Amino acid sequence: MILADELVELIRAYNPKSNGKLIAAAYNYGRAMHEGQFRHSGEPYFTHPIEVAWILAQQHLDDATIVTALLHDTIEDTNASYGGVSEQFGGEIAMLVDGVTKLTNLQLSSTQTKQAENFRKLFMAMSKDLRVILVKLADRLHNMRTIKAMRTEKQAQKARETMDIYAPLAGRMGMQWMRDELEDLSFKVLNPEGRASIMRRFITLQKETGDVIERITADMKSELKKSDIDAQVVGRAKKPYSIWRKMQQKDQGFSRLSDIYGFRIITANEQDCYRVLGAIHQRWRAVPGRFKDYISQPKSNGYRSIHTTVSGRNGRRVEVQIRTQQMHDVAESGVAAHWSYKDGVRGENPFAVDPVKWISGLSEQFDAEEDHEDFLEAVKLEMYSDQVFCFTPKGEVVKLPRGATPLDFAYAIHTRIGHACVGAKIDHMRVPLWTRIKNGQSVEIITAEGQTPQATWIDIATTGKARTAIRRALREMDRERFVKLGAELARVAFEHVGKKATDKVLGTAAKQLRLDSRDELLARLGSAEITTQSVIQAVYPDLAPDESEEVAGERAVIGLTPGQSFDRAPCCQPLPGERIVGITYRGKGVVVHAINCDTLSNFEDQPERWMDLHWDAGKHKPIFTVQLWVTIGNDAGVLGRICTLIGELKANISDLKFVDRKPDFFRLLVSVDLADAEHLHTVMMALEAENDVAEIERYRNPETDRPSADV
């Protein structure tokens, strides 16, 4: 177990002004609270908080973060309380410990709705103080390093959660070293054979080629010496998971994978970075398309470096990263560099990003998402994305995730520009809106007055900001359209029962249905969330169409035994005027089918269940519902005219669902209350004659009425 003096000594090596008494007090308090507790491995539990504190101390973090690490499990797992921690160590540390405790209780790998809600809490905790997530990441890293002591199923759960959430989050914060290790530790649990295979390939490659890293490092040092550049060169083989991911992305075997080695060159100043780049490119051939200058265009988490890939010895590709020492410190710590100390001074690195600005920029696009799936999608898009840098026509830089389109660019500039977008030019060439933007390209957005977002844009946009803005605009436009449609549906339905759908009547119905307003009622009616029957029944209970067919059924169908009830089969929805047969069900009465219903073939070997039935002409009521597939043009007023036409034909629309929406047409499933087959024929012929109706057919679905074993 690491001793308190060892921890204090490590911290004072980078921060001589550290409060050693505070660190020691937290150490002793945590050890006392966890006394008698043990980990799955059998070790004293307090070894875990000490290791977490040690990981953070290696990142040169401040005293408050280290103390929080030592105490991070006390409130959750011991008799310690928030008040007790606050009294002994101050309100700041108590708040941080409480924040870590709440994060620990979040089940980030639970169901989608729960996961989205917990992600919101995660980002709320991060926005209050980013050190909370730094402690949590270190906590997860040590747990992954010691995961073998857990049960097999628990290992898989933790590894998947780490791979999906914590590793990308560490990378998004700029802590790439931690992301690499978390991914590799998870990979070891989730795919041990795949990792072992890559490790064996590495050993074989080393035997065949010798120490490639040492030879290339020596070559680079020699070239830099010739150019009189003082720089540090470090080489490494990439982590097994990184190689596995490249194999999957490029669909290549290990032997064909070229860039499995990475080299880092750390210079004294920024000018030397570009001198090193020139020396490297002069000695080795650069690989086209593999150059990125994150010094002139830094990432949002503060990362700065020059990346290039060159063909080294024997044509083997190697990746080279060139940066200064200050850039390297941020590259190692990411956003955490804001709290890091060097020679007793905190946060003097000019490249360290202010975490308050960083987290507010990261979370602002999530706050507007109301839908759980939309929020989760936006979070994961942001966490997993790499970045591209493009330019406005005026030369201003816009940062976007890899795979972004001109639509994302437009919304990144301003929501108003995005809404009005009708086209785009990349490097002065007109391109489709779904074109993927590449690094360094100039993008110009073409706008038009009166343009509004299209539903198809959701599939084109990739950023959370763009998708949020598009969805919000579509919802507002849909609401206006649904209110108009609902008003038309209400007018026709109320006229059908001899009443008028006045504002007062609709307001009363809204109150009865516990809705906020008349418009809310109409919007829900237009979007098929409520039916016209329920609206009529809310104000005129005695006039609402009777949806129970059993009441009318005893008089409408001839051939039933006394007291026997019937239901119309949902698969074929027979109407008076059509030839019908009945299929008996034990305890369920009779189900009436049209004679040409496909479902009847399921009962051919059960003739004892068949009943010869027919409609009693003149005794049925106009309450028989039939569903119609209707495809109409997406033009203003079309839907209203269709609804009006159906109402004029003395038919009532009881339900309406949008099944498919395209820029040029809508496909609807319309439920219509009809009197008989002749009535249906009249309605369909009238609709078919309309120019704006592209297609109409009766809906029949055999799957809705499966054969039963009950006879």
Instruction: Confirm whether 76 is a catalytic residue.
Output: yes
**Residue 505 to residues 363, 528, 535, 628: CA-CA distances in angstroms?**
44, 19, 10, 29
Is 388 in contact with 404 (CB distance < 8 Å)?
Answer: yes
* Residue owning tokens 């177990």: 1
* Residue partners of 416: CB distance under 8 A and separation at least 6: none
| Partners of residue 430 on adjacent β-strands | 425
Of the residues 6, 76, 117, 673, which is catalytic?
A: 76
- DSSP state letters, 401-452: ETT--HHHHHHHH-HHHHHTEEEEEETTEEE-TTPPP-TT-BEEEEE-TT--
Contact 318, 259 (CB under 8 A): yes
Amino acid identity for residue 609 in this structure: R
Chain Cα centroid distance, residue 349: 34
DSSP track, 156-183: HHHHHHIIIIIHHHHHHTT-HHHHHHHH
What gap in Å lies between CA 344 and CA 21, rounded to an integer? 17
Residue with tokens 């690491």: 2
* Amino acid, res. 636: A
**Longest CA–CA separation in the chain, Å:** 108
Q: How far apart are CA 78 and CA 139, in angstroms?
A: 17
Of the residues 35, 77, 117, 546, only one is catalytic, namely 77
Cα 167 from Cα 157, distance rounded (Å): 14
* β-sheet bridge partners, residue 624: 674
Q: How far is CA 534 from CA 27, 416, 498, 538, in A?
A: 66, 40, 16, 6
User: What is residue 37's DSSP assignment?
Assistant: -
Q: Are the beta carbons of 54 and 2 closer than 8 angstroms?
A: yes
Question: Which distant-in-sequence residues (6+ apart) come within 8 Å of 117 by Cβ?
Answer: 372
Q: What is the rounded CA–CA span in Å between residue 378 and residue 372?
A: 10
Q: How far is CA 325 from the centre of its chain?
A: 36
Number of CB atoms found within 10 A of residue 475's CB? 12
Task: Tell me the three state secondary structure of residue 348.
Answer: coil
- Catalytic residue list: 76-77
